[in-house]
Structure 1
Amino acid sequence: MLFLKKGLKEKNMTTTLIIDHPWKESFNHQLLNTLIAGLEEDQKIYKVIDLYKDGFDPVMKTEELAGYQNGLVLDPLVLHYMNLLRETTQLVIVFPIWWYSSPASLKGFLDKVLLNEFAFFDGGNGIQPLLSIESVVVFTTSDQPTEGLEQHCTRSYKHQLTTTLEDVGLRNISWYHLGSLKQLGEDERQAYLSSAYSKL
């Protein structure tokens, strides 16, 4: 989905937002909507990838795996996502931490979209990045306190995702995590939402 507002100040800048949360009333979706409102107010081009709304299947099928190294695409939605990433200069990712990792849809997105000869090239001498995205902003939430989460998965979700994105050519990665979400009052939630767009 492409949104274009008239009178753009930065015509060559395109922000793609990825949301991985199944519930539209979630805080993650509130955060997404807040970011979209900021982009629209600043008259910037943006696109939204809603993995659940799109019905994205994160499971790598046998026939898909067989063509993986050749960049073979069997899922039209994967091809659509690849085309969006080609035009992206800023990537924003929003998701909750579940069991010390991302939900399955985001992991499947990385597995199925970041294909050889599209996101990277591996000729046997190490991965060579092929994407060129200038900045990445990641927003995550958890019901668990941030400190406890980091103690249990210091090199898990954060390290793995950051390393993957860097390997395919994404730069300037910023990460903002909001823990103890269920314990926060409405004022605290609104304060976080109010400051979110300034982080892009």
Structure 2
Amino acid sequence: MRILLVLAHPLRDSFAASVAAEAQATLATDGHTVDLLDLYEEDFDPRLSRSERGGYFDDPYDTSAVAGLVERLKAADGLILVFPQWWFNFPAVLKGFFDRVFVPGVAFTHDPAGGRIVPQLTNIKLLWALTTTGSPWWLVHFYMGNPVRRLLKRGIANFCSKRLDFRMLSLHDMDRATDERRRAHLERVRKALSEI
């Protein structure tokens, strides 16, 4: 399987970077092809430009500003996202990746009758999120309703592809996580990915 592994964290020595490295090594060992897209290292600009937004309903939509990323997404069989949750949401750089790359003609098409969108990422059979939160599990799930999971599964995954394998592995209470808990989470990631 060809996996687009997207890392969204500004620090090279972050725990997210460690998770991405573990994911890349595990997938490669198991014979998968891994395309690592480090949004910060590649200096991705998350801002949707005026022309991009102005042409959102053009047919065809102009993807020339992000053509290389569109090609990488279309070449993938699976998408694995590695990121921290900040303020119960995606880092801005990852949100911008969705805004600028998951666009009409790539991730979906507009239904001519209006209202609905038609999924177009039929090549993507797997969408996993490997993430951390600074908040404890109960706060994310019970108080906030796990918004990142909802957005990824009900929004992006269901609106852009059909019948894909969705999974989210999170390390909660990251700011107080011991080295032992972090190592255990990396092992959990390794074991889960080895089943792909």
Do the structures match in fold with TM over 0.5?
Answer: yes
Normalising by structure 2, we get a TM-score of 0.89
Q: Residue 61 and residue 48 in structure 1: after superposition, are their counterparts in 2 closer, same or farther (change >3 A)? A: same
CA contact (8 A) 2:84 2:91 kept: yes
Letter in 1 for 2:145: T
Provide structure 1 residue ranges, at least 5 long, that are not aligned to the other structure.
1-12
Tell me the distance in 2 between the aligned counterparts of 1:38 and 1:14.
13
Q: Distance in 1 between matches of 2:51 and 2:23?
A: 37
Query: Unaligned 5+ residue runs, structure 2?
Result: none
1:59 is aligned to 47
Q: CA deviation at 1:68?
A: 2.0
Equivalent residue, structure 1, for 2:160: 168
Q: In 1, distance between residues paired with 2:31 and 2:64?
A: 35
Partner of 1:96: 84
**How far 1:157 moved relative to its partner?**
2.1
1:157 corresponds to which letter in structure 2? V
Q: Which runs of 4+ in 1 moved over 6 A?
A: none
State whether structure 2 residue 87 is matched by structure 1 residue 73: no
Contact kept? 1:64, 1:74, Cα under 8 Å: no
Q: How does 1:1-200 map to 2 (within 5 A)?
A: 13-70=1-58, 71-75=61-65, 78-122=66-110, 123=112, 124=114, 126-132=116-122, 133-154=124-145, 156-162=147-153, 163-169=155-161, 171-200=164-193
Task: Give 1:125 shift.
Answer: 5.2
Instruction: Indicate the SS of the match to 1:69.
Output: coil
RMSD, aligned CA: 1.5
The separation in 2 between residues aligned to 1:67 and 1:60, in whole angstroms, is: 11
SS at 1:144 equivalent: coil
Provide, for residues 7-47 of structure 1, a one-character-per-residue CA deviation record: whole Å limited to 9, x for no partner. xxxxxx20110111000111100000011111222232110
Question: Are the aligned partners of 1:144 and 1:181 in contact in 2 as well (CA < 8 Å)?
Answer: yes
- Tell me how far 1:155 sits from its aligned partner: 5.7
- Residue identity over aligned pairs, in percent, reads 27
